[in-house]
Chains A and B, each alone.
Chain A
Amino acid sequence: MGGKTKKLLRVAVVLAAWGLAPHAALAADGPGVVELGSLSNLFEPVTFNHTMHTDVAKSCAECHHHTLGDAPIDKTCARCHRANQPADSVACRECHPANRFAADYLAKLEANPQLYHTGKPGLKGVYHRKCLGCHRTMDGPTGCEDCHKMTEKGEAFYRTGKFAPPPAKHEAGEE
């Protein structure tokens, strides 16, 4: 048990609270609140309440696949990962690359056609797909700024906030 906790510790960028909601056994094992900020650029870091989500989730495997030793939910994964040992790391970013579209990463995929998991999404992709995927079915927040506030750079990128086009131009609808 202690070993697993240690592994989970690596997940967190910042570890805030610790076992505040000992609702279930699995909740007690994970971190409390995590700040996800490694990709922060157009948006500020996300403050992720891990405890709350472990309460809601049916199983750790919902997010952590087979890495905690549980049977994966996706039957495609289950073909290989039926009875797994817990992995060394359970952090998303350990498997899902943040540099998914960097030329060297793409070259690595290109070089080895035998590689497994070539279609594995990058870190940004899995964060959004996991969170939004669930939020949309469980009526969680789905707006961009419900989870992370837009930075000034983001406002410039999306041409919104103080970078928004003047309202007079709105009527110039292009055909």
Chain B
Amino acid sequence: MKKIDRRNFLKGGLAGGAALAATGKATKAEASGSFGGYPNSMGVLVDFTKCVGCRTCEAACNKEQGLPAPDKPFTDKSVFDEIHHGKRHRRTTEKAFTVVNRYDIPGRAEGPIYRKFQCNHCQEPACLTSCFVNAYTKTPEGAVIYNSKVCVGCRTCMIACPFYVPAYAYSSATNPIVRKCIMCYDTRLKFGRPPACVEACPQEVMVFGRRKDLIKMGHERIKEHPDKYVDHIYGENEVGGTSWLYLSDVPFDQVGFDTHLGNEPIISYVKDFLAMVPIVLTVWPALFTGFHLLATRKEEANTKENESKGRGV
């Protein structure tokens, strides 16, 4: 709660700095703010130990979101061998909101491990907090959705996203927009149904439910099978927590996760600057006008002196 207060305070400060307070528009933007995470938001618990890399989720996503045809069929397993720039596996693109990658783990009895990946729908999304047109919204259901109608295309959200998720439709000249998973908000989540990928998965790798219940479920699974799982739910605390949570039997850094992100939401790293803004706005005018008066006192005295001298002559 303290955090939210601080942020709202800062928002007020920034808005004031832009001389918006008078227009009253700042309050509107504030009302749509969504920090802290909603208590009853939904989430998805992904258990990588169950994924077999069939790519059905990718196909389901493509169909549900009406995405363009893929470059290769969804049954084509050769995509797992693709190594892109930076020695990395496939990532989300403007044509694929979710991807499955294969990670060969030496010595793993079950063979390679597969990792499904998409937008993690952060509790305090960096994309949302960095967006200067408020294009992103964290819905009470937990999805981070995006309004392409107001997007200017600055791509700061892509800079800010610690998971490298948002993709830009660079190919479009007239209406390029950011494209990413929206947790099937419009077609499913809004109606209490899970995202298409969750339902399509033949292995039921994913469980859909309230985030807080999923965290309990995840810890229970770890407790029931302590020899199997890594004792960590990725996304429980990372960058302030994410709606998508992950269980794995190999360390997360071996399945393409960044384990150095820390538990602070990305906006926390910006707070030092944000806190400084209202100070500059209030202190600078007085300070520099004061400097001016001090610096020019002599000069003014001189002019007055000259004037009186002039009169004297």
Hey, which bits of chain A sit against chain B, CB under 8 A? 76, 100-103, 106-107, 109-110, 118-119, 121-122, 124-129, 132, 136, 142, 144, 157-160, 163-165, 169-170, 172-175
Q: A100-B199, A119-B217, A158-B75 are in contact. List 19 more A-B contacts (CB 8 A).
A: A76-B224, A103-B193, A119-B220, A124-B204, A126-B204, A127-B202, A128-B202, A128-B203, A129-B50, A136-B111, A144-B75, A159-B62, A164-B73, A165-B69, A169-B69, A169-B71, A170-B71, A174-B94, A175-B85
Let me know if B17 is at the binding interface, CB within 8 A. Answer: no
Let me know if B198 is at the binding interface, CB within 8 A. Answer: yes
Complexed CA–CA distance, A57 and B57 (Å): 31
Residue of A124, A126, A174 with highest tally of chain B CB at under 10 A? A174
Output the nearest chain A residue to B210 by Cβ-Cβ distance. Answer: A110
Residues of A within 8 Å of B55, CB to CB, are: 158
Output the nearest chain B residue to A142 by Cβ-Cβ distance. Answer: B52
Complexed CA–CA distance, A160 and B96 (Å): 17
Residues of B within 8 Å of A128, CB to CB, are: 52, 202-204
Contact of A174 among B95, B110, B208, B220 (CB under 8 A): B95
Complexed CA–CA distance, A35 and B258 (Å): 45
Across the interface, do B84 and A173 meet the contact criterion of CB distance under 8 Å?
yes
Contact of A136 among B56, B110, B202, B221 (CB under 8 A): B110
Let me know if B131 is at the binding interface, CB within 8 A. Answer: no
Q: How far is the CB of B198 from chain A (nearest CB, A)?
A: 7
Across the interface, do B192 and A157 meet the contact criterion of CB distance under 8 Å?
no
Complexed CA–CA distance, A160 and B62 (Å): 13
Q: How far is the CB of B186 from chain A (nearest CB, A)?
A: 16
Residues of B within 8 Å of A102, CB to CB, are: 193
Hey, which bits of chain B sit against chain A, CB under 8 A? 50, 52, 54-56, 59-60, 62-63, 69-76, 82, 84-85, 93-96, 110-111, 191-194, 198-199, 201-204, 207-210, 217, 220-221, 224
Residues of A within 8 Å of B85, CB to CB, are: 175
Residues of A within 8 Å of B210, CB to CB, are: 110
Output the nearest chain B residue to A132 by Cβ-Cβ distance. Answer: B52
- Which 10 pairs of residues, A with B, have the shortest CB-CB distance? A125-B204, A160-B73, A128-B202, A101-B199, A158-B74, A103-B192, A174-B93, A160-B75, A121-B204, A164-B73
Across the interface, do B72 and A101 meet the contact criterion of CB distance under 8 Å?
no
Query: Contacts A125-B204, A175-B84; is A159 near B110 (CB within 8 Å)?
Result: no
Across the interface, do B208 and A106 meet the contact criterion of CB distance under 8 Å?
yes
Q: How far is the CB of A76 from chain B (nearest CB, A)?
A: 5
Residues of B within 8 Å of A170, CB to CB, are: 71-72
Residues of B within 8 Å of A164, CB to CB, are: 73
Secondary structure of the B contact surface, majority rule:
loop
Across the interface, do B204 and A122 meet the contact criterion of CB distance under 8 Å?
yes
Residues of B within 8 Å of A157, CB to CB, are: 59-60, 63, 74
Across the interface, do A109 and B69 meet the contact criterion of CB distance under 8 Å?
no
Across the interface, do B203 and A132 meet the contact criterion of CB distance under 8 Å?
yes
Contact of B59 among A126, A129, A158, A175 (CB under 8 A): A158
Complexed CA–CA distance, A109 and B95 (Å): 35
Complexed CA–CA distance, A100 and B203 (Å): 12
Complexed CA–CA distance, A125 and B199 (Å): 10
Query: Contacts A119-B207, A124-B202, A132-B52; is A101 near B193 (CB within 8 Å)?
Result: yes
Query: Contacts A101-B193, A106-B208; is A159 near B203 (CB within 8 Å)?
Result: no
Output the nearest chain A residue to B79 by Cβ-Cβ distance. Answer: A173
Across the interface, do A165 and B191 meet the contact criterion of CB distance under 8 Å?
no
12 A-B residue pairs with CB within 8 Å = A100-B199, A100-B204, A110-B210, A118-B217, A125-B201, A128-B52, A129-B204, A136-B110, A157-B59, A158-B56, A159-B73, A160-B75
Across the interface, do A109 and B204 meet the contact criterion of CB distance under 8 Å?
no
Complexed CA–CA distance, A170 and B208 (Å): 34
Complexed CA–CA distance, A55 and B53 (Å): 29
Output the nearest chain A residue to B110 by Cβ-Cβ distance. Answer: A136
Across the interface, do A101 and B208 meet the contact criterion of CB distance under 8 Å?
yes
Residues of B within 8 Å of A121, CB to CB, are: 204
Residues of B within 8 Å of A174, CB to CB, are: 71, 93-96
Residues of A within 8 Å of B204, CB to CB, are: 100, 121-122, 124-126, 128-129
Contact of B74 among A129, A136, A160 (CB under 8 A): A160
Residues of A within 8 Å of B75, CB to CB, are: 144, 158, 160
Q: How far is the CB of A152 from chain B (nearest CB, A)?
A: 14
Residues of B within 8 Å of A100, CB to CB, are: 199, 204
